[in-house]
Structure 1
Amino acid sequence: VVFSPDGKQLASGAEDRTLRVWDSATGELLATLEGHDHRVASMVWHPDGQQLFSGSEDGTAKVWHWQTQSCVQTVSHKGAIAQVTLSSDGKRLAGGSAVTSTILLWDLEQNACIQTFEGHDSGVRTTVFIPNDQRLISASIDQTIRVWDVETGDCLAILEGHQGTIWSVVVSDNPYPHNQHIMSASNDQTVKIWDLASGQCLRTLHGFAARVWSVALNPQSSVLATCDDRGVKLWDVGSGQCLKTFRGYPQVNWTVSFSPIDGTLASGGGQDHKIQIWDMEQKRCRRSLSGHQNYVQNLCHHPTEPILASAAHHIIHLWNLETGQTLYRLEEHKAPIWKVVFSHDGQYLASSCFDQTTKVWDWRTGHCVWTLQGHSSWVFGVDFSPDGRWLATSSMDQTIKLWDALMGECVRTIQVADDQMPDVTFSPDGDYLVGGGVQGQLMMWAMNRDAPPRIVQGHAGFVSGVRFSPDGKMLASSSHDRTIKLWDAVTLECLKTLVGHENMVSGVAFSADGSMVASASHDETVRVWDVATGECREMLRSPRPYEGMNIEGATGLVETQKATLKILGAVDI
């Protein structure tokens, strides 16, 4: 988001490929600018406030007359444009590619590229003109900041010191306190303040809980604003003192699900009762789905259509992921639902519940086809066999039951001695059934013979989820011991233990190609792991509001309302 030069308008760019211009005083939508083919990554206003410039990951930068909602000029780059910046006279536009690691400078009057800046080793995340327009600043995934001569294209200086991707830089408009300064935000959980003339790092700001996404300098003061995954902080540039912290509220992630269609990742849980839809290419939350009135316990993607099923308390929601709209609310359960799962052909949805039943639904009509009764305690795990003929359920009554999914009849009961199975899953070929136990065990049964299970003790706590890889060669398990384990599905040998979560891990899912595993945790994160290396490739946190409201002495609030406000970040001091 960026304010117009006179502050009367606010422009926003979004995942929906549009720019929107708002009245900053009333919040009224003034214009919607459409034309990009991918996410709008950055925007900048012309000094006269009549034109708006945008950079997109479709590899183009566009010039808009926002009042007529028309695109008047388009220039192209070879890769996704992470950010655009405009010279102070409005005649030149610079844009860096997050893919090719180059920066292009366009003369807007000539509609031509007049300079190419090359030198970064990885993608460019941000660019900004120094106020006199003679130099250009760029920051990169390669952890460096470069200062360029705009006329010659020469690199004048390289600022090194960050230990992670640099997402944002800002340059002081006026010398402070003696020279111009650069402020940079990085994945390494720091903000650095640099002297532009000497290239020296003057100060490093610490105290962030995660990566720092953005920095902004108040043009009227020496106050710097920073944004990380946990909130917004205000800093005094001169002293490096943190002046104020606006905190959000915790987002416990209970569940994750990968879409088999496009790799979209969904996560759910937390006090906001929302589902987050993540764009894995951009590593950002693409959409939040609102509608549940309780914690989201479980999610499941439809195998072939953009449909998501979610369970919160006794209600199942079916969502259209393209529109974000709710298709159905299924409300026949009488207690909290533990798990939902689609059949492999996508015809049916099954739900396991603490009311001791499992229901099979025709999700297209919202009609309950079968209510499976037979367990004497809470039903946790549920899974369809690959051919859709069988349904397996696990319960706190220490049994696993196999059901004829077409007839709704129980055909086999397996006793699980001295343990309960919170989750069960069929292998992709349907030959094996695996369950994870409360005491940390994994058990595997052969479906073609009535034999005791193979048992392996792997976790030090409750096994919250088990999943086979798409090719059936590997098994992933998540546990309240804060780890995820990868197993050889044939030998049940533990191949890797994924460590990094700071609280219980409540769910796990493989990507469609089997190269990644996603895990959801009570530490408020979803983590995406590389199966081959065991390394955490990405840590995702849900977007959250930044509250700082003091409700001390507020009248008209009952205690439950005050408690809710405090969860949302309010303070009573």
Structure 2
Amino acid sequence: MAAPLEVIVTSDSGSQLWNCTVFDLHSGSSLLSYRGGNSSTRTLVLLNGEHLLSAQLGKNVINMWEIQRKDQLQQKMVCPGLVTCLTASPNGLFLAAGVAEAVYLWEVYTGKLLSVLSRHYQDVTCLKFTDDSSHFVSGGKDNLALVWRLSSVIQLDLSHTPEPRHVLSRHSLPITDLHCGLMGAQARVATASLDQTVKVWELSSGALILSVLFDVEIMSVTFDPCEYFLFCGGSDGNIFQVSLCSQSLSRDKSFQSDNDGNQVFKGHRNLVTCLSVSMDGTLLLSGSHDETVRLWDVQSKQSIRCLAHKGPVTNAIIVAAPANMFLPDSRPAVPLPRFSRHLHAPEGGESGEVCVRLGLYTQVIGFCSPVFQSVFGDGENTKVRVAELEEEVQTLKKVNKDLYDFSSQLLTKPT
């Protein structure tokens, strides 16, 4: 049997035998189970396709597994308090956690705690990165959603207090969930709240684009990959589908089921805690406090599979299956370090500073560590290497543009 392209990863608060389970997206069969405690809500994270992380329910601990070693915890990370939410940047370089009213940000490859952001006034409830890893958004019980530019919050000067790029403050009750769409810094962000509204924002400007009022509190929210629809999980067990392409769409509206794409998925008997959509946008996954995970056909609104759990579902996500998930003999390319619990001030302004690696680029802040210097050299050697990398980036940009132009010609060519 070939390895699946996408898998379902779920966790609940009642299982005694495993922490989280991996299911086949199309058959519903159980593929893997990871042992060790239970995961709290909004903390299940796939890191760089090589590690699985989740916060321990009721404890100030983050559990970490190598993705293929399901029966053994690689390590436990002790945090300063209970972790209320956890997320990783899509490029795998940064890990962010909500602990009480603060957001902790670590660099994955060094384990260094880069910043502690204490801008919320009450507990942080949800955290999400943009798809290009340049920004992340935090939502809290203080009714606020804060947009953070990653480059501005990495602290080399501990006397400097980072400030959010935008403060999204139109909710009147605690924020329960948020979702960042595609397009990086130009993305749209959806926030759900106990005030019975879901709001859609423009990340670049912080402007409110759409506000939808429901009859119930909204506990979870997500877009489909093309952002044609907004899916909202209610406290009554219903899932509401809002069309974002309606001709009659105004900035403020009340949800009503109609023939223009606004529909209701009915099947859960308790609040819907998590939502996720498959890569092709045809399947919707939902987890609920009724101890079930359901898979829905988006077109027909029918539940095509129900996965029973042992307690209220805390996490349910659809993810691309990592290549080494089903290869027991594989090992991560880079092992996880020991994560620091404290911010470290620079020592004398010399070596030991943070080197932040952003995608294909290598941005060196301050003076680089001895490890970095041993790879790239000093002085003229470093300049030559940087010039070579810049030339390679320009070449890749040209190749990408040529591919885009060729694809556009094929798609627009008359049949």
Q: Judging changes above 3 Å, is the alpha-carbon distance between structure 1 residues 486 and 298 closer, same or farther for their aligned structure 2 residues?
A: same
Question: 1:537-566 CA distances to partner (integer Å, 9 max, x unpaired)?
Answer: xxxxxxxxxxxxxxxxxxxxxxxxxxxxxx
Q: Judging changes above 3 Å, is the alpha-carbon distance between structure 1 residues 286 and 371 closer, same or farther for their aligned structure 2 residues?
A: same
**Equivalents in 2 of 1:257, 1:495: separation in Å?**
24
1:462 has 2:271 as partner: yes
Matches within 5 A, 1:112-511: 210=17, 251=38, 253-259=40-46, 261-283=48-70, 284-293=72-81, 295-366=82-153, 367=162, 368-387=164-183, 388-417=186-215, 419-449=216-246, 450=249, 452=256, 453-499=262-308, 501-511=309-319
**Equivalents in 2 of 1:254, 1:278: separation in Å?**
18
Cα displacement (A) at 1:427: 0.9
* One-letter amino acid of the structure 1 residue matched with residue 48 of structure 2: I
**Contact residue 130 and residue 187 of structure 2 kept, 8 A:** no
Cα displacement (A) at 1:318: 1.6
3-state DSSP class of the match of 1:382?
Answer: strand
**Contact residue 56 and residue 63 of structure 2 kept, 8 A:** no
Question: 1:245-291 CA distances to partner (integer Å, 9 max, x unpaired)?
Answer: xxxxx655334434363152111133431111211201132232222
**Contact residue 94 and residue 107 of structure 2 kept, 8 A:** yes
**Equivalents in 1 of 2:69, 2:38: separation in Å?**
20
3-state DSSP class of the match of 1:365?
Answer: helix
**Contact residue 49 and residue 67 of structure 2 kept, 8 A:** no
Q: What's the TM-score, normalizing by structure 1?
A: 0.44
**Contact residue 50 and residue 322 of structure 2 kept, 8 A:** no
**Equivalents in 2 of 1:288, 1:210: separation in Å?**
18
Q: Judging changes above 3 Å, is the alpha-carbon distance between structure 1 residues 363 and 495 closer, same or farther for their aligned structure 2 residues?
A: same
Question: 1:64-97 CA distances to partner (integer Å, 9 max, x unpaired)?
Answer: xxxxxxxxxxxxxxxxxxxxxxxxxxxxxxxxxx
**Contact residue 96 and residue 103 of structure 2 kept, 8 A:** yes
**Equivalents in 1 of 2:322, 2:51: separation in Å?**
14
**Contact residue 293 and residue 307 of structure 2 kept, 8 A:** yes
3-state DSSP class of the match of 2:74?
Answer: strand
**Contact residue 258 and residue 509 of structure 1 kept, 8 A:** no
**Greater helix share, structure number:** 2
Question: 1:89-136 CA distances to partner (integer Å, 9 max, x unpaired)?
Answer: xxxxxxxxxxxxxxxxxxxxxxxxxxxxxxxxxxxxxxxxxxxxxxxx
**Contact residue 179 and residue 190 of structure 2 kept, 8 A:** yes
Question: 1:161-187 CA distances to partner (integer Å, 9 max, x unpaired)?
Answer: xxxxxxxxxxxxxxxxxxxxxxxxxxx
Q: Judging changes above 3 Å, is the alpha-carbon distance between structure 1 residues 253 and 306 closer, same or farther for their aligned structure 2 residues?
A: same
**Contact residue 42 and residue 126 of structure 2 kept, 8 A:** no
Q: Judging changes above 3 Å, is the alpha-carbon distance between structure 1 residues 259 and 416 closer, same or farther for their aligned structure 2 residues?
A: same
**Equivalents in 1 of 2:65, 2:180: separation in Å?**
26
* One-letter amino acid of the structure 1 residue matched with residue 299 of structure 2: V
Q: Judging changes above 3 Å, is the alpha-carbon distance between structure 1 residues 254 and 404 closer, same or farther for their aligned structure 2 residues?
A: closer
Number of equivalences: 271
Q: Which runs of 4+ in 1 moved over 6 A?
A: none
Gaps of 5+ in 1: 1-208, 212-228, 231-249, 518-527, 529-573
Cα displacement (A) at 1:462: 1.0
**Contact residue 255 and residue 269 of structure 1 kept, 8 A:** no
**Equivalents in 2 of 1:271, 1:444: separation in Å?**
33
RMSD between aligned residues:
2.6
**Contact residue 191 and residue 200 of structure 2 kept, 8 A:** yes
* One-letter amino acid of the structure 2 residue matched with residue 300 of structure 1: T
- Structure whose CA Rg is larger: 1
Point out which structure has higher relative CO (alpha carbons under 8 A, 6+ apart): 2
**Contact residue 469 and residue 514 of structure 1 kept, 8 A:** no
Q: Judging changes above 3 Å, is the alpha-carbon distance between structure 1 residues 512 and 292 closer, same or farther for their aligned structure 2 residues?
A: farther
**Contact residue 49 and residue 322 of structure 2 kept, 8 A:** no
**Equivalents in 1 of 2:207, 2:77: separation in Å?**
36
